[in-house]
Amino acid sequence: MKKIITLFITFIALVSVVTCSTKENSKVTDSNINKINGKDILIVYFSHSGNTESIAKLIQKETSSTIFEIKTKIPYPSDYSKLSQQAEKEQKENFLPELNEKVKDISKYKVIFIGYPIWLGNFPQPIASFLSQHQLSNKIIIPFSTSGAGSLANSVKNLKKLTPNSTFLDGISISEFNVNSSQKEVNNWLKKINIKK
């Protein structure tokens, strides 16, 4: 009886390990990296002040990939106080702002970088709009953000809720004060997750 119980516990543990490993990875494995090139990678980003756009372009430079900017039909206010009020209202109501366009054929990309500024500890709602319009199941998602002081962790947790069938690699958060000198930091990160040799 003890032997049967031990075998059963071992089986459950193995199943748990296999299940977790399919959705949580820190980098692209060596066996997969050779199958991924710039044509397989899409960089999607939303930028308000231009900081996130700068990081997106650094990634594009190093990966030779396609880049897509998320733009809302109605631009956000430039005044910080009004922007904060609107962002907070949208998050509370889970409002999905209308976007200018969609990616024409997202199915051809294997790896999707998703970039955004941290607003009130989370990604801006245009990111939620984008995810609601595009099927990212079985994609490798790599988040990146810019922020004055916020953390990437909470936003990634919420991204995973919206894309439960995707695999996430370790993301990066760049301080808005270091954007103009972040090339080396971005390069080291891309090497760490095995996107760049």
In this prediction, residue 28 has a pLDDT band, given cuts at 50, 70 and 90, of: low
Mean pLDDT value across residues 82-95: 97
Report the pLDDT value the prediction gives residue 52, as an integer from 0 to 100. 98
Q: In whole angstroms, what is the distance from residue 129 CA to residue 132 CA?
A: 5
% of the chain at pLDDT higher than 90: 77
In this prediction, residue 24 has a pLDDT band, given cuts at 50, 70 and 90, of: low
3-state SS, residue 41: strand
- State the CATH architecture for 25-192: 3-Layer(aba) Sandwich (3.40)
User: Do 78 and 50 meet the contact criterion of CB atoms below 8 Å apart?
Assistant: no
Q: Is the pLDDT of residue 31 over 50?
A: no
In this prediction, residue 150 has a pLDDT band, given cuts at 50, 70 and 90, of: confident
Q: In whole angstroms, what is the distance from residue 140 CA to residue 62 CA?
A: 18
Q: In whole angstroms, what is the distance from residue 167 CA to residue 14 CA?
A: 19
* Residue 69 per-residue DSSP state: E
Report the pLDDT value the prediction gives residue 83, as an integer from 0 to 100. 97
Q: Is the pLDDT of residue 149 over 60?
A: yes
In this prediction, residue 197 has a pLDDT band, given cuts at 50, 70 and 90, of: low
Q: Is the pLDDT of residue 78 over 60?
A: yes
φ and ψ of 58, to 5 deg: -65, -40
Q: Is the pLDDT of residue 183 over 60?
A: yes
Candidates 155, 134, 151; CA nearest to 143 is 155
Q: In whole angstroms, what is the distance from residue 39 CA to residue 67 CA?
A: 11
